[in-house]
Structure 1
Amino acid sequence: MNKVHSSLSKLELLAVYFSYAIRYLYPLVLIPYYGRVLGSSGYGVVLAGLSLSSALWLVVNFGFSTIGGRDIVHTEVASERDTIFRDQFTARLLLSIPGAIVGGIAVSRSEIIANVPLAGIFVVAGGLLSAFNIGWYFTSTGRPRTNVLIEVLGLLLSLALIFTFIRKPADVDRAFPVIFTSSMIQTLVAYWLVRKEYSGFLSPVRAAMGLIKRSATIFIYSGTAVLVLDASTYILSLLAAAQEVSAFGLSERLVGAALSIMAPAAQILAPKVMYLVTRNPARANLLARRTFAVFFVGAVAGVILTRLLSEWLIPLIFGPELRHAVPVLNIMVFILPLT
């Protein structure tokens, strides 16, 4: 496996961004398709379910990815990485138990999700499955492009399945099984690629509990705000009709897609900054400041363009039925510079 080097590979960063272009195009293709095929109400159901899945993923992940990436970049031998991998898997497995219970209760409280046959099962299962994503392991061992390629494979597979099985409003009950299937295949591919790098999945419960305690601060500091944002569409589904959920959820998805532009840079830069902090603090600080400056300017530009063009673009791209999302989007877009 490649070690994380102190030098920043611009070619590596550009390669990852090129691969991520498909990920950015994914919502731009899928959201209009959902909106036009399922309608405002059907799309509201999908958004509420995906929101709950994302919230469960964040809870079960519990900041483990950040801790795992930090620990991996400072390892020297394979046995150390093996221990970290097994601790990570076991800790996620432990938190999946309360996650499944909370998810089951959440599904039963949302009429929008509960009224769709079997949707709740796949919503909860999909959220728990996402928590076992090992993208953090690929990036912290110097293989971000492998991780991106796996994600692109999952997105393309998801699009193919959605276009095949979801063609009319009544097909809304197929959305969650299709999403879960593509996620499962993506996860199996990832674990297959690293199967020779770990000796098993389980570690002592005491070690897993120790990891949960060490990750608590990270989760509270950086995860709770994201959790509230990701769960907001589900929370709205408890109080409003599917049409209102779709207006809010569409805006949230578009803002989330814009925020994901930072993901490739984080995949490359976070391990490098972690590596540099203990070896060259001045360079680590310089890299962090430059990163902030670039993305803050880009976020402000995003706000300006959204406010100018949303009234025209939203009905054109997503259908006139979702025009009511424009006022929500024009307010929510201010999340970009704040983030």
Structure 2
Amino acid sequence: MPTSSHKIRLGFIGAGFIGQIAHIENYAQLTNCQLHAIADLRPKLLNQVADKYDIPHRYSSHQELLDDEQIDAVIVVTARSHTADIVKDCLLAGKHVFSEKPMAGNSDIASDLVQLAEQRGLVYCVGYMKRCDAGVVKAKSIFDDLLTNSTLGNLLQVSAQCYMGDSYCKAAGYIHGNEARPNMVNEANFAPSFLNDEQKPIFARYVNVHSHLLNFLRHFMGCKPTVEYFNTLSPLAHVCVMRVNDTLITLETGEVEQKNWQEKCTFIFEKGQLIVTLPPALLRNVPATIELQQNAEVSQSTLIQVDWSWAFKHQATTFIESVLNIEVDSIISAKEALVDIELAEDIWKKLSN
């Protein structure tokens, strides 16, 4: 088992765009881990990426990589429909695991993975990097203080929106490669069985895009909300109403044809509001922004900015620290990600009723 004085030896499964931009590059900048091995089904891309980041051990499949006994932990960034099976293989091989979200297409598969990690005594984390965003961390601290001190009175309602635009922000500096992507499995095959064939691919898309906001809401509210209502008249637009005790939560999600990424959450108190605006995922070194509105004798609006930083890099640091401190539950643990899938299923069950 790794100790605090041991550099965590990492293996990467997947050398594609997100793997390079959001993960390999960030781990390469950390001093308490080393890039030990990488696997990809595309041999040319595999070697180009390994050369760029000076990764010494290269494998043509994830099974070969998992046979490398020197690897402590594995970063899995593959097609979503393959993620759960590869994560299972990693856990069975005794490796700590970080995977991109969603961890699985339904809660049954996700639950099996969580149980397997716990049985093997392994760290398993999932990529909800917004919890690691420095702006989100600051906003959560402010929110908790507002609840504790009742500075703005009672929390009445929460309003959250995500209108998906372009989150890539013209990311550059990665190797494109000209080899065909590996065959994809239909994501709908992994959707919950209570959905019909038409709903399953829409659910898969919903979980992939909007589970980030579900994760965000649970993080702030401290529990899984109860779902009151859900409707989607179009695959591109959805409205959900949830509640936590006496607090209503409205969640509006959709996909629009625009460059701008619109995602924010407003916590509405009796005497003011806390507004957290989330940046596009690949907008480097731009954390979430915070606005605190206080309605006293004179209304005040305060913008709160934290230092420039990138959620993906903080996420990499969080995973390594989780491996080094295995007895401490991680804020990006798979146990948390499982609840996001369970909540998504609760939402879509309202549609099928």
Q: Do they fold alike, i.e. is TM over 0.5?
A: no
Q: Which structure: greater helix fraction?
A: 1
Task: Give the TM-score of the pair, scaled to structure 2.
Answer: 0.28
Task: Give the TM-score of the pair, scaled to structure 1.
Answer: 0.29
